[in-house]
Amino acid sequence: MTRSRGIFLAVMAGLFLTGASTKLPSDALETVRHLAIQQGGRVKPFDSFARETLDRLTGSPRWKSQDPVGTLLSILAEPDRWQEEPLLSVPFGPLREALGLGRKSAHVSYSDLLSTKKLMRMLPAIVEKQQRSEKLTMLENETMDLFDRFVTFTNLMKQELNLVPPPAGERVWLPIQQAEGPRAAWERFIVSLRESEPTAITENARRLAQVLQAANPRATPALWRMDLEVLYNRAEPFRIARFLYLAAAVLLLMFHLGRRRVALLARGSFVSLALLLLFPPPPRAPGGASPRGAGRRFPTSTRRCSGCRSSRRSWR
């Protein structure tokens, strides 16, 4: 019972486990997390952008249990280091073989794709089939998905981020590199990330947020909307739902095993009663001795036999 309770508590504790700590100051992380950015026609918090981008690249909104915003900022500040990291997801086995990866190599680095050029050699034939409106195979679809991850990482290295609110009357946000004032604030922030100066990182993050807000305050979403979406992301309802389903399954299994043990006990009692009815013990003679061999007694040892446990398992 104690062991089952320990397993249950461990499962429930997983609901609230947070990612590994990051080197970035918490104030700077929170400031960047709430920055507005436009992607796919929708204006969202940078926190959502980071989670969606990592999910597209790696197959998960978190990389090695790290804070998504911290991971993405690290990629933006140190792209050369991240090119060597096996980051891009390759979930399809035949594609791994085509790229020369091991069967268990679920990810490949950006630099490996560049050096081997195997992915690039596979693309022309696929593009020709698309131009002829022919149906692609599973391998070809997975190849295009990997190429999309390759392009996404390339855009990150170029820092193509639509962080600047548009002028009045327009809806498309501007890339950070195309707006002079915000670009200077962004570059100072990136330099402070590379230098790992906590005070400078916090100050430059705050300054960047102010510059972006001043570009067009009316185009920036209301603060409560950004806070609400960030709160939703932190709650991770789908992840929590998976753990709740798992916890419910564990509880159901524990209940089922409890019922089963009761059933086994009842079955054992029924078999014992049936044996007693079919083969009753011989009546005792006066004085406590049985008619067969006066003075012989039944064993009184309470030690378990070696076959009891195995026979019980066979019932299951």
More confident residue, 237 or 45: 45
Consecutive H or E run containing 88:
strand 86-89
What DSSP letter does each residue of 25-63 carry, written as one string?
A: -HHHHHHHHT-EEEETTEEEEHHHHHHHHHHHHHSSSSS
Helices (H), 135-288: 138-157, 180-195, 198-215, 223-235, 237-278
Q: Which one is predicted more confidently, 172 or 251?
A: 172
**What percent of the residues of the chain are helix, what percent strand, and what percent coil, each to the nearest 5?**
65, 5, 30
Where is average pLDDT lowest: 15-24, 76-85, 107-116? 15-24
Closest CA to 73 of 39, 110, 41, 25: 25
The amino acid that residue 60 corresponds to is S
Coil/strand/helix, residue 113:
helix
- 255's CB contacts (< 8 A; 6+ apart) are none
Q: Where are the domains of the chain?
A: 1-69+162-257, 78-159
179-202 b/e (C-beta count within 10 Å ≥ 16 → b): beebbebbebbbebbeeeeeebbb
- Rounded to an integer, the average pLDDT of 101-128 is 95
Write out pLDDT tens, residues 116-127: 999 999 999 999
Instruction: State both tokens at 260.
Output: 């089963």
User: What value does the mean pLDDT take over residues 119-140?
Assistant: 96
How far CA 24 is from CA of 58, 77, 144, 190, 247, in Å, comes to: 22, 12, 35, 12, 34
DSSP 168: T
Q: Which of 9-23, 227-241, 255-269 has the lowest mean pLDDT?
A: 9-23
User: Is the pLDDT at 284 greater than 70, yes or no?
Assistant: no
pLDDT tens-place string over residues 81-96: 999 999 999 999 999 9
Exposed / middle / buried, residue 286 (Cβ in 10 Å: 0-12, 13-18, 19+): exposed
Residue 264 has pLDDT above 90, yes or no: no
Contact indicator for 46, 37 with CB cutoff of 8 Å: yes
| Stretch 240-266: mean pLDDT | 59
d(CA 191, CA 187): 6
β-sheet bridge partners, residue 86: 109
What lies within 8 Å, CB to CB, of 196 at 6+ separation is 23
Pair 125, 137: CB distance under 8 Å? no
**How confident is the model at residue 22, as a pLDDT?**
42
pTM of the shown model: 0.70
User: How far is 84 from 294, CA to CA, in rounded Å?
Assistant: 88
Predicted pLDDT of residue 63: 95
Query: What angle separates helix 46-58 from helix 68-77, to the nearest 10 degrees?
Result: 80
Strand partners, 44: 37
* pLDDT above 60 for 176: yes
Q: How far apart are CA 116 and CA 109, in angstroms?
A: 11
3-state class (DSSP) for residue 216: coil
Examine the pLDDT at 44 and tell me if it is beyond 80.
yes
Residue 248: per-residue pLDDT? 64
Q: What is the mean pLDDT of residues 202-206?
A: 97
DSSP state of 293: S
